[in-house]
Amino acid sequence: MSRMNEWGQPIGPELPGFTPPDPPPRALLQGEHVELSPLDPTRHGPELYRAHQGVPPSHWTYLPYGPFESESAYLRWLAEYCMGDDPLFFTIVDRPSGNALGLAAYLRIQRASACIEVGHLSFPPRVARRPAATEAMYLMMRKAFELGYRRYEWKCDAFNAPSRAAAVRLGFHFEGIFRQATLYKGRSRDTAWYSVLDREWPEVERAHRAWLDPGNFDAEGRQRSRLSELTSSIGGREP
């Protein structure tokens, strides 16, 4: 995809007519299983705290915050940390029951380079890899590309095996490890980087839609095809 400049050097493709995409709006994203509602600590906070009761302390190991010693501490964190525009937090709400399941956010929103990241994912293990959690990730990715972002990122602690497996399952390309990239909770972190590009999104979207299709699940709710199988030929793998 390179071209040559007047000095015979390879350079990247031109982007004629490029304009920076709008920031993601603080607006509802609605799917079949879930809706992503802009975080409201007063409305969502108590239910989010209850949803995380019973999760093991290990749930918080790779997040830069938590565990929280009380509901009031959790609500205070939501109000003080999670109400800005970057990160922009959403509550994942189960549509059938209306219950708050967890949190997700857009962050590192770089309009000038049309790059955006998803992160701050927190929902109980019972929700992970279910249609609700997967659809939430699909809705956020779809909205980012609809807005005109060219690159959608996923980053995590290189030791966070579940997060790395989730990125692969969702169709992200593994890009490598940034060594000693940051510090959190008093320790050093190597960061694993993943991405989906705008030119890859149509195929990734088809895989997600095929997996989320009701026909992909039997009467007991068991999947017929795994999303990891549907994304394996796209980029959902590590070398």
Of 232, 216, 36, the residue nearest 143 (C-alpha) = 36
Q: How far is CA 7 from CA 1, 4, 10, 11, 15, in A?
A: 18, 8, 9, 11, 20
Q: What is the pLDDT of residue 90?
A: 98
Q: What is the pLDDT of residue 119?
A: 98
The ranges assigned to domains in the chain are 24-231
CA distance linking residue 187 with residue 40, whole number of Å = 31
List the chain pLDDT tens, one digit each, 239 residues. Answer: 678 999 999 999 999 999 999 999 999 999 999 999 999 999 999 999 999 988 899 999 999 999 999 999 999 999 999 999 999 999 999 998 999 999 999 999 999 999 999 999 998 877 766 899 999 999 999 999 999 999 999 999 999 999 999 999 999 999 999 999 999 999 999 999 999 999 999 999 999 999 999 999 998 889 999 999 999 988 656 65
Ramachandran sector of residue 66 (left: φ over 0; alpha: ψ -120 to 50; beta: rest)? left
Q: What is the pLDDT of residue 236?
A: 56
Q: What is the pLDDT of residue 130?
A: 80
CA distance linking residue 37 with residue 202, whole number of Å = 25
Q: Are 112 and 132 in contact, with CB atoms under 8 Å apart?
A: no
Q: What is the pLDDT of residue 129?
A: 63
Beta bridge partners of 100: 93
Q: What is the pLDDT of residue 220?
A: 85
Position 82: which residue type?
C
Of 172, 236, 201, the residue nearest 226 (C-alpha) = 236
Q: What is the pLDDT of residue 121?
A: 96
Residue 143 three-state SS = helix
Q: What is the pLDDT of residue 237?
A: 62
Phi and psi torsions of 52, nearest 5°: -95, 0
Query: Does the structural domain 24-231 have CATH classification 3.90.1150.10?
Result: no
